[in-house]
């Protein structure tokens, strides 16, 4: 296990934690919004998602700051713990309140899964991050110590090699001086030839070593160039994928906007006909009532537009409200 493995585990922990937090936030918003809408005045129904968003924002702050503090090896004191548990218990209470009011124990158990998982994940993730930060620091310290030891050993070997080379040169010079002192000119010439041969051999060896060093450096430069080229191609491919994704998102957004505009024009066309004196066909009457309900017209005005009775129009309005209420509940259950 090295620092790279520990960092990989830290990334996996971060990704998993944020997936759980995101899923719990989405589940909480879908579950709590209908409850808030049911206990809020009709004129303020649009404020129903605010409370779950505020609580979930607190959850995000707690998880993010705990992550930063754990990486820095710091401690936030008592208040982060209070905020972490308070947001978790609030999320648990809001998610299970509707089922508890209905005395649905199975619903309470099902809706308690995500908040409890969020609470335990926040506490466990904090402990894991602190342990991972300590492990990373320890591994990096060990790697620095090993690197320094290797550098020191290489420096000592280099100094020892220089000392041996200097001693060898001094010994050869001493032998040469003794030989020059005891032998004649022929011996001196022989010595000179031997020295020349040694110089040639040393020059050849140095040239060979220089050629090998240059070949290694050239291969290293080629590998680096290939690596840079590969990274450049990967960046270009990533940019192309990002451009394609943005284009697809823009096309989907334009399609949704066009569909909304088309529906608005259809409702406006149905309502523009004005009051009628005779009953419209039922299919068209239902379309007129649906448009009137979407535009927030009174029931009497809708009855005048379609020619049907107020009781019939009231039943259609109720169907529209039931449909709009059932859809968010079904999404929350999913």
- Mean pLDDT score across all residues of the chain: 76
Answer with the residue of higher pLDDT: 291 or 329.
291
Residue 331 has pLDDT above 50, yes or no: no
pLDDT at 146: 84
Secondary structure letter of residue 75 according to DSSP: -
User: Binning pLDDT at 50, 70 and 90, where does residue 328 land?
Assistant: very low
pTM of the shown model: 0.30
Residue 41: φ, ψ to 5°: -60, 150
User: Binning pLDDT at 50, 70 and 90, where does residue 43 land?
Assistant: low
> DSSP letters of 269-302?
HHHHT---SSPPPHHHHHHHHHHHHHHT--HHHH
Mean pLDDT of 298-323: 83
Mean pLDDT of 156-161: 87
User: Binning pLDDT at 50, 70 and 90, where does residue 327 land?
Assistant: very low
| Model pLDDT for residues 144-154, shown as the tens digit of each residue | 888 888 888 88
Token digits for 108?
């309470």
Distance in angstroms (rounded) separating the CA atoms of residues 106 and 114: 14
The distance between the two most distant Cα atoms of the chain, rounded to a whole number of Å, is 143
Helix 185-272, helix 282-295: angle, nearest 10: 120
* Least confident segment among 71-85, 156-170, 212-226: 71-85
Residue 330 has pLDDT above 50, yes or no: no
| Model pLDDT for residues 270-284, shown as the tens digit of each residue | 777 677 777 778 888
pLDDT at 187: 83
Helices first, then strands: H and E counts in the chain:
8, 0
Find which of 82-96, 98-112, 198-212, 313-327 is predicted with most confidence, using mean pLDDT: 198-212
pLDDT at 37: 61
| Model pLDDT for residues 84-123, shown as the tens digit of each residue | 677 777 777 777 777 777 777 776 777 676 676 666 666 6
pLDDT at 17: 66
Among 334, 332, 321, CA closest to 94: 332
Quickly tell me which residue has 């998102």 as its tokens.
Answer: 249
Find which of 31-40, 134-143, 209-218 is predicted with most confidence, using mean pLDDT: 209-218
48: left (phi over 0), alpha (psi -120 to 50) or beta: alpha
Residue 329 has pLDDT above 50, yes or no: no
pLDDT at 73: 60
């Amino acid at each position: 296990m090295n620092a790279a493995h520990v960092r990989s585990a830290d990334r996996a922990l971060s990704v998993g934690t944020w997936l759980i937090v995101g899923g719990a936030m989405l589940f909480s918003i879908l579950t709590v919004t209908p409850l808030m809408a049911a206990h809020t005045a009709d004129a303020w129904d649009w404020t129903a998602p605010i409370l779950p968003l505020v609580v979930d924002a607190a959850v995000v702050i707690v998880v993010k700051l705990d992550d930063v503090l754990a990486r820095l090896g710091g401690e936030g004191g008592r208040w982060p713990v209070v905020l972490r548990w308070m947001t978790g218990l609030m999320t648990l209470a809001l998610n299970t309140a509707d089922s508890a009011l209905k005395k649905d124990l199975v619903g309470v158990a099902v809706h308690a899964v995500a908040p409890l998982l969020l609470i335990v994940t926040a506490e466990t993730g904090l402990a894991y991050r602190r342990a991972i930060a300590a492990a990373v620091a320890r591994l990096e310290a060990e790697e620095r110590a090993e690197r320094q030891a290797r550098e020191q050993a290489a420096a000592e070997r280099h100094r020892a090699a220089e000392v041996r080379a200097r001693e060898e040169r001094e010994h050869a010079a001493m032998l040469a001086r003794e030989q020059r002192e005891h032998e004649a000119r022929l011996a001196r010439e022989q010595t000179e030839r031997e020295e020349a041969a040694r110089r040639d051999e040393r020059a050849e060896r140095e040239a060979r070593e220089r050629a090998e060093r240059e070949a290694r450096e050239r291969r290293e430069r080629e590998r680096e160039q290939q690596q840079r080229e590969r990274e450049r191609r990967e960046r270009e491919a990533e940019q192309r994928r990002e451009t394609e994704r943005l284009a697809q998102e823009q096309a989907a957004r334009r399609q949704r906007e066009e569909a909304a505009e088309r529906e608005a024009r259809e409702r406006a066309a149905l309502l523009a006909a004005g009051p009628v004196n005779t009953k419209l066909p039922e299919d068209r009457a239902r379309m007129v009532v649906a448009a009137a309900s979407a535009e927030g017209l009174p029931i009497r005005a809708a009855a005048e537009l379609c020619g049907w009775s107020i009781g019939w129009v009231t039943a259609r309005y109720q169907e529209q409200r039931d449909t709009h209420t059932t859809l968010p509940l079904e999404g929350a259950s999913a």
